[in-house]
Structure 1
Amino acid sequence: MRIPLLARVHLGTVAVLFVLTLSACLLVAGLPRAMQASFDEALRRSLAAAPGVQTDLTVTLPSSSREDDLYERTQFDTRDRRWHQLLPAALRPLVVPAGTGASHMSAKTALTPVTGTGGLTYINVGWLSDADRRVDWVQGQAPGKPSTTRYEGATIPVFEVGITEEALTKMNLRLGQTKTIGESDYAAVKIVGVFRPKNAGDRYWSHNQDILHVTQLLPPGKLDFEQHITTLTSDAGLAVLSGESRNLIYSWVMPLDARPASALAVPDLSTAITEFGRVIELQSSSTRSPYGLTTGLPKLLDDFRAALATAQTVMYLVLGGLLVVALGVIVLAVQLLADRMDHTLTLARARGGSLRQVAGTAAALTGLAVTPAAAAGYALSYFVPGPALPIVHAGPVLVVVTAVGFAAARIALTHRAPLHERRDDVAATRPSARRITLEVLVVVLALAGAYLLRARGLAGAGPGADRAGQDPFLLLVPIALTFAAALVTLRCYPYPLRLLVRLAARGRAAVPFLGLTRAARARSATALPVLILLPALGVSVFAAVISGGIASTQQLASWQSVGAPIKLTSKIEIPEPAIEQVRRAAGVEQVVLAQTARVQVGYGAERAEAIAVDVAQWQRLLQDAPISLPALSGGTSALVSPDLRGRGTLEIGWQSRLKLTPRGVIDSVPGFYTTGKFVVVPLSVQVRPAVNTLLIKGDASPDELRRLVPSATVESQQAALRAIQDDPLTTTVRWTLVVVTVALAAYALVAVVLSLVIGAADRARAVSFLRTLGLSDRQAQRLTVLEILPMILVTALVGLGLGLGLPAALGPGVDLSSYAGDVPVGDYSPDLVTPAALAAGLAAVAVLGAYAHIVIGRRRNLGAVLRVGDLS
């Protein structure tokens, strides 16, 4: 046959098929690319936001003898080059070259006590390979060569060192002071200089916080804090450091560059880190001082993979539904094209055409429509940034194969014998016992799968399991539930209609009876539209519910993290004049005073976090927020954490000794405490409250509040919400859900229109028969609406119920807390606006299509519709 001629004859249908294929291939190939690009960006942000000490690779060597000591910089450099040569291929693109960025080497002693302090003060000696580029000396001078002195009859080394201004103040040290360190093998440190970091916010310093800041530790069972500081010495001092008599650790830091990171390579990165650690250990020449690899990157990657797995699961669900619906709509369009060619192919078959020729003609014409469209959609997807995943290449091929294969199979099945005649409207075929058994089995398995998924949760969700793996069970259960719902709908759809037919038969009007009768008998014709509309509505409603649940939980998480519209906290007491200035600041509506501290519980070493606040005022401040606080009366009543419950009267040491009566248990204090031991008390229990926290209601400018209280940190609920929403993974999930919802709604509407057009010829013939019996145009419109609308309404209701029930059915299988500030997303309160709009849109399209069909039918001559002898 002449395929181009057939294409011109059926140009409208071919054009519809072209557009549907183009849009489907663009979505199937473009959305995965955009998703993967966002996954890569999320990984890069995660690596860049984490402290360097967590992401960077650090090779360590503890020295326990003079044979293990390193005295010269060249010894460090030789090993540094060696470590970079041993890097696995997966890690090499991410690790910066030696000597660049934050790459450096160090030697530090640990737990070196100051002699005579009883283990409460520790001054360690440290060396950094690039200290001259990292610090400015603001007092004294840079350390020089070490010297010696006599102490208790022995000659000990004296290291010239420098310290930070913070250590000078907090540890009561002086420039020029000499301190003896050690408890048995003594040494001395002479403070010759005070330095400041050139850039304290550089990731470099996350590896050396012990040099910048004084560390305070409270040993178990003690009441006094230990103070630790690491000083800086020179290259000459390095030559004297030895691990023979003190804890000495050498380190080589290899920073990571997050820019080349790819989410697809995360499994390879985890494997490479393990392999690198094993190779590093093999470089040890002594079992007493083995090399080791220290990094927090594996945990960070595991956490990312867990969040990524959830995102991928949700994406697979909605994109899989989108692909199925798109294929279904394309199959509907192919069916329309086959129906339009039916007369031509029947004539060719009657004139001796083989079944292969007839089926090949339909397949060729379909291929002529879908192949260029698929190629165009595939090409357009390359304008979407992101890597090309296998689905990007396989999706368009699947669309073409499905469309061409369905066209050939349908024509081959229809034209098995020449001059075929069909009367599907007379009686429905009774299903076989085998088919009924199979359908019941599918429904039972779907329900059992949903129950088991809720009962057992995800595979690998237990302690120590790999949470990043995909659980096939999670992907199969929604498909099974959708298929089961479609089977139940198709099987049960005619029965309520037959009941309505019986009721309509008792009336005198013929139109309701005829319309409902045709609707009840059209089960075979409605099977494909139902199989398209039901997953389209189910997945789109599911996406809308999930998106709404994420949005509401993000709001809750932002309020829980801040505890007020604006929170102002200071490490020192906020003066009363500053508080009054905050009250008078523009946009401030209410200010609640609070005092926080770490307090002593009882008379021992137990500590707890405490907040003194007027809870009633705080409740009024949170009047319109999604969080609340239990009531707390005045006096000495208190709210305690679960760890402090059941102790009766609670005595704490704060500004004075306070005896508190617990009046309730609170799991968390929004904006302050979520775990551990904490207590909430009225502000009035303090004799003179030292206010260090302000809870503010209003839309005041955070910058203005920082100016009014320079010592304070300002947090706002809106900023916390933006931080959660701006996460790349969160943005991808939300936008993908929105795009899929819109696309599925559009496909559902197209499916309704195509189903109307496919049945148009048969419907026009029936209406024409009835018009010869006196059926008016208005009655014809009502008849068409009654024939089409039941299928639309029943499918819309089932799809709506499926979409609203999927989140509950999946249960713990979909953990979306990673996209909602680590707060579990469990509130899937159905927002019926979007589902109602979708159902109403489908019904409206069906009604409008029915009216349009009647309007078009008016122009037809009855002689063009009815054959000779039809009225005899």
Structure 2
Amino acid sequence: MSVGGAVRRVRAYGGQFLLLAVLTLVVTLLISGVPRLVNRLAEQGLRAQLNSEPAARRDVSYTSEFQTASPVDSVMADARARSEALAEQMPPRLRSAVEEQWFSVDVAPARLVGPDLAARKLLVDLSLRALPGVQQAGTLVEGAWPNETYVPGRPIEVALDVDVARKLNLRPGSKLHIGNATETGLTDVAPVVVAGLFRPVDPANGIWDGLPPLQRITEPLGDGEPLIVVGVVAESALNKRAAAGWSVRSDWRYRLGVDRIDARHLDQLIDGLQQMQRSKPSTLTLTQGVDVPLRAFAAQVNAARTLLAVIAAGVLATLAGLIVLAATLAIRRRRAEFVLLRARGGAATAGARRSLAESLLVVPIAAAVGWWLGTLFPGAPDPTAPYAAAAAVLVTLALPMATLAVPAGGAARRDLVRVRPSARRLTVEVSLLLLAGLAAVLLRRRGLTLGEVDPLLVSVPVLLAVAAAVLALRAYPWPLLLVSRLAARTRGSVAFLGTARAGRSAVAAPLVVVVLAIGTAAFCAVVAAGVGASRERAAEQIVPADAVIRGERFAPDTVDELGRLPGVQAVTRVLLESDERLAVDELGTDARVAQTAVLLVDGSGLDAVARESDVDLSVPAALRTARPEPGPLPAIVSPAVAADLAKAGLDHSAFISVQGQRYEFRVAGTEESFPLLSSNSGRFVILPWQALPARNTTPVPTSLLIAGDRLDQEALRQAGDQGQERYQNTGAVTGKDRPIRATVDTRAGVRRDLGNGGANGVLAFGFVVGAVGGTVLGLLAIAFTVLAGARARGQVLSRLRTLGLSRRQWRGLLLVELTPLVAVSVLTGALVGAVLPLLLNPVLGLSAFTSGMPVRVAFEPSLVAAVLALGAVALGFAVTVEALNNRRLRLGEVLRLGEES
């Protein structure tokens, strides 16, 4: 029991201990390194998602109402003090994420008049703003900044953005007056002079993102309304205006830094935003939009982490099985040593103590090296040290426990399996099957919290794989027995001997490990295929064509113009309006039901575009075959709208407004969802455009669907903009404002965005690690399975070679014996991997990666090909391992030295 003796035994059995050390290293490496990689990928995904959003989306803003300040107060000093107080009141996680902060005080907009404005007949309201730091963020182009020294009787000095000033015909020195506009003129008039013009040093600087903006003119909402302009004044001037009774409003903005948001603590950050909303002062309005992208990303990360927990459970369970197999093989080779030790008077635990001493020399060092290598991976660490320590302890105890299982008697044949298992073993197996079934039912009924490592979730895949392996062990010897009997009646001994030995092989533990490994790889492949197919459906739901042009309103001839572009094969028009009210009659009597979205589609045109775009879209016959005829239009509605109409007795006749015209419709069918509508749209009415009755004015499209090859997005965008301009500038009434530019989305681009954004990197990493790791570990488990019976097969082959078995027959015998084992292992694992997604998919939350589209896991023909290819590779690998092992053992020496050599 000396240390020197343990060292000598480790050197003597170096190969076995090296294998155990490598497996230990891999386990602790995964425990230490994989969480770091996952955190790194999550951080990268979060940075990319936040950077793709406008920077102002990360602002948390407090705004007060316009009110008259106390004459003795300094509004700027109060705003500065409150800026720090509001920051201190933030939750700690949110306060640490604040990167920049600004505050400003605005005077309520008042009418601005002057000769320069009158020259262009401009109606302008000016808001005065004091903004600390503006002189450092802007560069003077002309004139000077407003003087900070207040001089009674001097006009209010204002600095304007240079582009804004030129549009208003203003320049340094322009003399103006500001006051409250009334029907009789201006009241409370004060002189104003333009002191200087500035240009931002960095237009993306958050100091310019306050509302109303400093860098542009705010257009009026209606006819006869003034333009809104913001000018910069000195703090002293604004304090005097506030003291004079002018209404002021304060604004405090805090911008969250992209690099300061930790992907591991998104839930705490979102909770902090909710807490701020609940605890905000009643006199302030809190505005923030950062929680929307954070919630979307958190949902993806939580779903990815849940899936990774399932994959990690399979991989680690496979590694644990390999460690058990390695320890069993090592002890089996030394069985005679431990039996002799007991025969010489050693205690029952003498062999276990010897194995423990040997393990302590190898396993802790390997575990420490694996942990250290894991710390070299990029990314923030997780508190996984206790798990690594527990794994090291369990691996260290693997050899001693295997030693205690060595039979005290002499050697006995271990290549036979009883046709009738013992009552104890049968009880264990039945209990295992019942436990696996019960766990699966509980998981489906109870559900789980995404993002957390649920013990039930990680145990169900392992239990089901073990249960499937047990069933396979009990089932597969029977068909082999039948085949062996049939082979006994044929000429030749290869088929008979091979099937007979395959039916008697003792492969319980190795087969379980193979099923675990292959099941994990198949699970990843099936789920990845399901997510990919669901993304395709989501892209088709968003863009049910090759491309879609969206805008405000397009001229009717835009369809013909698009049809002339190169590569365009078909075009159809679409009109979508949201929040329309249903009416009882043509006069517009409210039906007293909730608002709904209305979608107009040309049924035959939509069907043609979908067909040309290879989109799997079944246009309802009511929309496709509708024709102009008297009576209500046939409409497809959502179930919620159908229920409301039926309750109100309007399912056969109801009215809805479309671009100012009211159309009668009847319910011709219901659909849960329809393309071009959001996935969470639960209320909609779809009308056939080609069946609309003739009216004085006809609807115009708001979107255009295009089918074609090699479409030029810029050409499509230009055609859409021209169509919008023609609509604006033709007809009885023309618009004066340029419409918002048209946007072009392609189905391929939407599909690409769904697969690249957010936490997709974490998801893809889990799929790759699970598929590759499961396959590699499965092949390694098959090698263990082959080595477990290698010596017995070597003895049989030695005798048969002595009796005249040729080398070709020997290879055939190996192939016949190993094929059933490999086939059962791979097929059972593949079956487990295909069934697990059906069981776990409802609780994994993978719809976060498919734009809300439910992930449907279905049979994939490619999986069959992959399983067959994997089976062929596994069989070839098994035969190669067996051949190399027989060459190393030398079959003649196996026969001479005896069974336990």
Q: TM-score, normalised by structure 1?
A: 0.78
The one of 859, 874, 883 equivalent to 1:829 is 859
| Match of residue 151 from structure 1 | none
| Matching residue within 377, 382, 385 for 2:375 | 382
Deviation of the 1:793 alpha carbon: 2.2
- Paired residue for 2:736? none
Structure 1 residues 427 and 718, CA gap change in structure 2 (3 angstroms): closer
Is this contact kept in 2: 1:142–1:162, CA < 8 A?
no
* Matches of 1:495 and 1:192, distance apart in 2: 101
- The Cα of 1:548 is off from its aligned counterpart by 0.7
Counterpart position of 1:641: 637
> 2:793 corresponds to which residue?
763
Q: Does 1:591 align with 2:579?
A: no
1:85, distance to aligned residue in structure 2 (A): 3.8
Distance 1:367 1:620 in 2: 72
Per the alignment, in what secondary structure is the counterpart of residue 411 of structure 2? coil
Report the residue type matching 2:686 in the other structure.
V
1:475 to 441, 448, 458: 458
Shift of 1:483: 3.1
Quote the Cα distance in structure 1 between the aligned partners of 2:71 and 2:486.
97
Whole-angstrom distance in 2 between the partners of 1:139 and 1:656: 53
For residue 87 of structure 2, what is the aligned residue in structure 1?
Answer: 84
- Measure the CA separation in 1 of the matches of 2:452 and 2:224: 44
Deviation (angstroms), 1:741: 0.7
Once the two structures are superposed, what CA deviation does each residue of 1:812-854 show, in whole Å capped at 9, x if it has no partner? 2111011122222124333423333333332333344455556
Cα distance in 1 for partners of 2:571, 2:141 equals 41
Contact 1:514/1:783 (CA < 8 Å) preserved in 2?
A: yes
Offset at residue 746 of structure 1 (A): 0.8
Following the alignment from structure 1 to structure 2, what is the Cα–Cα distance between the partners of residues 556 and 190? 63
> Quick one: distance in 2 between partners of 1:65 and 1:641?
52
**CA drift at 1:663:** 4.6
Aligned to 1:116: none
Q: 1:403 to 1:454 in 2, by over 3 A?
A: closer
Amino acid of the structure 2 residue aligned with 1:442:
L
Return the alpha-carbon distance in structure 2 between the equivalents of residues 188 and 680 of structure 1.
Answer: 57
Task: Return the match for 1:311 from 304, 309, 312.
Answer: 304
More displaced, 226-235 or 450-459?
Answer: 226-235
Give 1:485 shift.
Answer: 2.3
Partner SS, residue 97 of structure 2: coil
Once structures 1 and 2 are overlaid, which stretch shifts more, 448-457 or 579-588?
579-588
Partner of 1:464: none
Amino acid paired to 1:537 = I
Describe how 1:561-580 pairs up with structure 2 within 5 A: 561-573=542-554, 576=557
Q: 1:422 aligns with which of 407, 412, 421?
A: 412
AA matched with 1:323: L
Q: Residue deviations 1:655-689, cap 9 Å, x none? A: 75555566544554423555244434325847666
Distance (whole Å) between structure 1 residues aligned to residue 523 and residue 225 of structure 2: 55
What letter is aligned with 1:320?
A: A
Candidates 600, 603, 607, aligned match of 1:615: 603
Between the aligned partners of 2:326 and 2:717, the Cα distance in structure 1 is 63
Is the 2:511–2:785 Cα contact (8 Å) retained in structure 1? no
- Report the counterpart of residue 671 of structure 1 in structure 2: 676
Determine the C-alpha separation between the residues in 1 that align with 2:513 and 2:889. 27
SS in 2 for 1:387: coil
The answer as to whether partners of 1:108 and 1:249 remain within 8 angstroms in 2 is: yes
Residue among 819, 825, 829 paired with 2:849: 819
The match for 1:269 is: 269
Shift of 1:527: 1.9
Pair 375,617 (structure 1): closer, same or farther in 2 beyond 3 Å: same
Q: How big is the shift at 1:258?
A: 1.8
Question: In the alignment, is the contact (CA less than 8 A) between 2:635 and 2:665 conserved in 1?
Answer: no
Q: For residues 441 and 867 of structure 1, what CA distance do their matches in structure 2 show?
A: 36
Match of 1:838 in 2: 870
Could you say what secondary structure the match of 1:825 adopts? coil
1:640–1:664 Cα contact (<8 Å) kept: yes
Distance 1:21 1:541 in 2: 25
CA distance in 2, matches of 1:110, 1:677: 41
Q: Name the structure 2 match of 1:148.
A: none
1-structure distance, mates of 2:473, 2:799: 28
Unpaired segments ≥5 residues, structure 2: 112-122, 149-155, 169-175, 643-650, 722-740
Determine if the alignment matches structure 1 residue 56 to structure 2 residue 59: yes
Structure 1 residues 553 and 815: alpha-carbon distance in aligned structure 2, compared to 1, 3 A threshold: same
Q: Distance in 1 between matches of 2:893 and 2:833?
A: 45
The 5 A counterparts of 1:517-666 are 517-523=500-506, 526-573=507-554, 576=557, 582-594=562-574, 602-604=586-588, 610=598, 612-623=600-611, 624-631=614-621, 632-633=624-625, 635-636=627-628, 637=633, 639-642=635-638, 645=642, 646=651, 648=653, 650=655, 652-654=657-659, 658-659=663-664, 663-666=668-671
Report the aligned-residue RMSD.
4.9
When structure 1 is superposed on structure 2, of 708-717 and 307-316 the one drifting more is 708-717
1:188-215 deviation per Cα after TM superposition (whole angstroms, max 9, x unaligned)? 9999999999688776677636997879
**Identical amino acids, percent of aligned pairs:** 25
Kindly indicate whether the alpha-carbon contact (under 8 Å) linking 1:581 and 1:708 is maintained by their aligned counterparts in 2. Answer: yes
Q: Residue 325 in 1 paired to residue 315 in 2?
A: no
Matches within 5 A, 1:213-252: 232=230, 234=233, 236=237, 240=241, 250-252=250-252
Cα distance change on mapping 1:683 and 1:275 into 2, 3 Å = closer
Structure 1, unaligned stretches of length 5 or more? 113-120, 146-157, 170-174, 218-223, 282-288, 460-466
2:775 aligned residue (734, 745, 749): 745
8 Å contact 2:322–2:781 — kept in the other structure?
yes
Closer, same or farther in 2 for the Cα pair 1:640/1:160, shift >3 Å? farther
Q: Aligned AA for 1:82?
A: A
Contact map agreement 1:512 1:786 (CA 8 A) in 2: yes
Of stretches 712-721 and 9-18 in structure 1, the one that deviates more from structure 2 is 9-18
2 CA distance for matches of 1:585 and 1:837? 46
Task: State the one-letter code of the partner of 1:699.
Answer: R
How many residues align? The count is 812
Q: Quickly say closer, same or farther: Cα 1:858–1:702, change in 2 above 3 A.
A: same
Checking the alignment, whether the CA contact within 8 Å between 2:502 and 2:820 is kept in structure 1 is yes
Question: 1:558-580 CA distances to partner (integer Å, 9 max, x unpaired)?
Answer: 2222332222223353585x766
Deviation at 1:738, TM superposition (A): 1.6
How far apart, in 2, do the equivalents of 1:690 and 1:67 lie? 55
Identify the residue that residue 413 of structure 1 maps to in structure 2.
405
| Preserved contact between residue 542 and residue 806 of structure 1 (Cα < 8 Å) | yes
| d(CA) in 2 for partners of 1:855, 1:342 | 23
Q: Aligned with 2:704: secondary structure?
A: strand
Q: Go from structure 1 to structure 2 and tell me whether the alpha carbon gap of 1:319 and 1:470 turns closer, same or farther (over 3 Å shift).
A: closer
Secondary structure of 1:421's aligned partner:
coil
Q: How does 1:14-93 map to 2 (within 5 A)?
A: 14-49=17-52, 55-61=58-64, 71-93=74-96
SS at the partner of 2:516?
helix
The amino acid that maps onto 1:698 is D
Quickly say closer, same or farther: Cα 1:357–1:434, change in 2 above 3 A: closer
Displacement, 1:256?
A: 0.7
Q: Which residue of 2 aligns with 1:682?
A: 689
1:362 aligned to 355, 362, 367, which one?
Answer: 355
SS of residue matched to 2:34: helix
Q: For residue 60 of structure 2, what is the amino acid of its counterpart?
A: L
1:622 shift after superposition = 1.9
C-alpha spacing 1:189/1:683, structure 2 compared with 1 (3 Å): farther
Query: What does residue 730 of structure 2 align with?
Result: none
> How many Å separate the matches in 2 of 1:480 and 1:197?
67
Q: 1:304: Cα distance to partner?
A: 3.9
CA contact (8 A) 2:307 2:844 kept: yes
Measure, in 2, the Cα distance between the counterparts of 1:293 and 1:428. 74
Question: Contact 1:309 / 1:470 at 8 angstroms: preserved in 2?
Answer: no
Cα distance per residue 1:388-410 (max 9 Å; x no partner)? 2233x456545543333111221
C-alpha change, 1:348 and 1:728, in structure 2 (3 Å) is: farther
Moved more, 197-206 or 610-619: 197-206
Secondary structure at the residue paired with 1:750? helix
User: Pick from 465, 469, 473: which aligns with 1:486?
Assistant: 469
Q: Which residue of 1 aligns with 2:737?
A: none
